[in-house]
């Protein structure tokens, strides 16, 4: 196990991931200390499994929410507790094993070298990745870069990333949105508006089949409607902020 960090932690929001979560958490713990998991009202037994795991591992903390509130809400709960404990940065990753835990030290080092930035994973897809998901995210990426006047968001949806906690808390408390699936893209856009620049690092992503224990909560219609409404709101916000963004770009 690695020596514990007092500034950077791994934060894993988790909702009904199945048994895959134990392998994910153990792999993350092999790369970093501490690791916190926020169980977002799961009903699959994972809260009990993880609580038992944490009882034998002082580098693992498990926070159990009584009911499902959404990914963004789970992250907000986690970073609020992290800030109270003195942490300044959080690397978020999914609990289903899709994200590359071996790159945790690389992302943390990039964040430690440039603490004012956010470090974003730019996904490298395998052959098993659904074409609809791969191509569909290009639309969200195009909107995100338009809404930030091309600040350089490599990927707006990939949740493997390091956030500076204080500005993320500030932008989340400034809106009632970004509490569910809309969290990842809205977070990077609003942080760019706040002057937090992105650093992009390539990172593989793996889609597991059902036979491999893969679990997906993505609903094509519901979540795309949510993203469409989100980008409509963000574009209106972009228009209002355009003079400031242009001024900042001219000064850069």
Mean pLDDT (the chain, rounded): 91
- Cβ burial of 30 (10 Å; 0-12, 13-18, 19+) is middle
89-92 and 198-205 beta bridge pairing: unpaired
The residues, ordered by sequence, that sit 6+ positions from 54 with a Cβ below 8 Å of its Cβ are 37, 60, 61, 62
- Per residue in 137-170, pLDDT (tens digit) is 888 999 999 999 999 999 999 999 999 999 999 9
**Is 80 exceeded by the pLDDT of residue 57?**
yes
Which residue matches tokens 């500030």? Answer: 170
Residue 202 bridge partners (DSSP): 122
pLDDT value at position 6?
A: 97
More confident residue, 13 or 125: 13
More confident residue, 71 or 129: 71
- Per residue in 209-219, pLDDT (tens digit) is 555 555 565 55
Record the pTM.
Answer: 0.90
89, 165 in Cβ contact below 8 A? yes
Kindly state the percentage of the chain with pLDDT values over 90: 75
- Per residue in 5-25, pLDDT (tens digit) is 999 999 999 999 988 999 999
- Per residue in 27-54, pLDDT (tens digit) is 999 999 999 999 999 999 999 999 999 9
CATH class, 8-251 region? alpha beta
How do the domains of the chain map onto residue ranges?
A: 8-251
- Per residue in 191-210, pLDDT (tens digit) is 999 999 999 999 999 875 55
Band of pLDDT at residue 172, cut at 50, 70 and 90: very high
């Amino acid at each position: 196990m690695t020596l514990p960090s007092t500034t950077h932690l791994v934060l894993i929001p988790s909702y009904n991931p199945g048994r895959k979560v134990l392998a994910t958490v153990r792999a993350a713990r092999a790369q970093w200390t501490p690791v916190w998991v926020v169980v977002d009202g799961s009903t699959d037994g994972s809260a009990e499994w993880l609580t038992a795991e944490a009882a034998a591992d002082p580098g693992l903390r498990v926070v159990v929410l009584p009911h499902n509130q959404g990914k963004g809400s789970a992250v907000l709960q986690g970073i609020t507790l992290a800030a109270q404990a003195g942490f300044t940065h959080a690397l978020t990753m999914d609990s289903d094993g899709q994200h590359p835990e071996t790159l945790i030290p690389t992302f943390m080092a990039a964040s430690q070298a440039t603490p004012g930035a956010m470090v974003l994973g730019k996904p490298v897809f395998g052959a098993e990745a659904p074409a609809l998901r791969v191509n569909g995210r290009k639309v969200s990426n195009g909107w995100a870069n338009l809404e930030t006047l091309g600040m350089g968001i490599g990927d707006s949806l990939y949740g493997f990333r390091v956030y500076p906690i204080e500005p993320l808390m500030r932008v989340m408390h400034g809106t009632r949105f970004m509490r569910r699936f809309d969290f990842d893209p809205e977070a990077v856009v609003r942080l760019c508006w706040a002057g937090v620049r992105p650093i992009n690092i390539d990172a593989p992503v793996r889609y597991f089949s059902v036979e491999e224990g893969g679990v997906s909560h993505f609903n094509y219609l519901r979540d795309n409607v949510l993203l469409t409404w989100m980008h409509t709101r963000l574009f209106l916000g972009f228009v209002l902020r355009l003079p400031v963004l242009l001024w900042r770009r001219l000064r850069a």
